[in-house]
A = this chain, B = another copy of it.
Amino acid sequence: MWNAEYDVVVVGTGFAGLAAAIEARERGRSVVVLEKMRNPGGNSIISGGLVAAAGSDAQRLAGIEDSPDRMLADMLAAGQHLNDPTLTRMVAEHSAEVFGWLRDHLHVEFRDGVNQLGGHAVPRTCATAKPAGIAIIRPMLERCRELEIEVRLRSQLRSLVQDAGGRVVGVEVQDEYHFPEAESGETIRIRANGGVVLASGGFARDAGFRRIQDPRLDAYIDSTNHPGATSEGLVAALVCGATPVHLSWIQLGPWASEDEKGWGVGSLFSILAGFPYGIMVDAASGRRFVNELSDRKLRVDAMLQQDRHPVAIVDSGGVSRASTLEQCLKRGVVREYQTLEELARDNGIPTAALRETVSRYNASLEQGVDVEFGKPLLPDLAPLSNPPFYAIRLVPKVHHCMGGIQIDTEARVLHLVTRAPIAGLYAAGEVTGGIHGASRLGSCAIPDCLVFGRLAGMSAASGR
């Protein structure tokens, strides 16, 4: 009947899944982690490695006052207050704690300083030394090895197995699965004596599924996600009676490059340099059109109303924050110019209009307030005037699924009919819904994955 047996079966090897596995194993449980791709790390491994932490010692060092309440307020405002405030509060309240867990328990290396990201009231985002999620995934996998946690690659979840009473007692898996060939591999069944933790991520790359909720997001719209960001895990939970929340809230990111596929190397350039230290203009008019540090939804909605692709511009001062500059230049994603005029010409921007936009922006820095768009001005912000100048051409790409299945404060999955937890089933990360409401703020995904991933592991370990 069963091909293998563990206390805890985790589906997914991203931040949430590995956090759950580590917590369950550290509590003495036998654990297997299933990954459908041939490499571990899911979408997490290619993420930006940005971690919002409210009240961290990194903030204290930088003289920034912050609190979980402020972070909660920012998350609820971006979420248009559709968020479940209890769950959202948990992310904010434990954000500094999980940042500490990464740094002190898992020895993840971070760059000094904190970054100001869109929609956050203050700089509160720490960035990994190596500018990508792999800087977190690798130490997590290392810890899994130390703990002798089995990670089974090319193991695709087919369905959750329930007993007669509805308890999830295991999983049916395609073993030796070859993504994305649905019928590849062989079906095996793995028993979970304690519980199954679903951490299978979002469906940003699943054009068929995302179009059900938003017909505009067809296969012609690019996504920042890895190819495996599809909907099977979510669907497997829904057919067991899990409660769908906010499935139609699908986020596009405002910072990715038109000149490369996916997340690429350009996104971090825009996030760390272009938006906080530069400006974004519409190529057709040469004018700014939105607060470059507003939340992602506001920015993307504004971008979609422009006549042409927007361009983000920064000078040699601000560019020092861009951790991926070298790769961006090498791949032609960012271009360098000695004058603004040259930049305008090469990007098809009206030169006079761009010059006027830059002077108006520089003047607003002198006044200490962005009169036009209310962008928060960082204390170390300097006028855009020191060549060389750098430009990146931007296009919105599907980035994050706010929606998913509903969980409670112990990461238990709630049933649609009984409103009670489905026994034996836990979930964390992007497969869950309700924590970010209408729009997730940048760098809040990693705290979300870690807070609820760890909780899911603890709950599954204790059979709560």
A383 to B1, CA, bound (A): 80
Question: Is A125 in the interface zone, CB < 8 Å from B?
Answer: no
Q: Give every chain B residue within 8 A of A212 (Cβ-Cβ).
A: 243, 245, 406, 434
Q: Which residues of B contact A403 (CB under 8 A)?
A: 248
Residue of B nearest to A82 (CB): B214
- With contacts A247-B244, A248-B247 taken as known, whether A417 is within 8 angstroms of B215 at the C-beta atoms is no
**Chain A: interface size category:** 20 to 34
Q: Residue among A208, A212, A235, A248 with the most chain B CB within 10 A?
A: A248
B-contact 0/1 string along A194-232, CB 8 Å cutoff: 000000000000001000111110000000000000000
A81-B215, A215-B83 given as contacts; is B239 within 8 A of A241 (CB)?
A: yes
Contact status A84-B416, CB under 8 Å: no
User: Given contacts A244-B244, A245-B212, are A239 and B416 in contact (CB under 8 A)?
Assistant: yes
Q: Is A249 an interface position by the 8 A CB rule?
A: yes
CB closest residue in chain B, given A249: B248
A105 proximal to B (CB < 8 A) = no
Instruction: Judge if A64 is at the interface, Cβ distance under 8 Å.
Output: no
Say if the beta carbon of A185 comes within 8 Å of chain B.
no
Interface residues of A in 233-253 (CB under 8 A from B): 235, 238-239, 241, 243-249
Nearest-Cβ distance from residue A251 to partner chain B, whole angstroms: 14
Cβ A85 vs Cβ B215 within 8 A? yes
Is the Cβ of A248 less than 8 Å from the Cβ of B82?
A: yes
Partner of A245, one of B208, B216, B243, B248: B248
Q: Which A residues fall within an 8 A CB radius of B?
A: 81-85, 208, 212-216, 235, 238-239, 241, 243-249, 403, 406, 416-417, 419, 434
Cross-chain pairs A/B with CB under 8 angstroms, 11 sampled: A82-B213, A82-B215, A83-B215, A85-B215, A212-B243, A212-B245, A212-B406, A235-B416, A235-B417, A238-B238, A245-B247
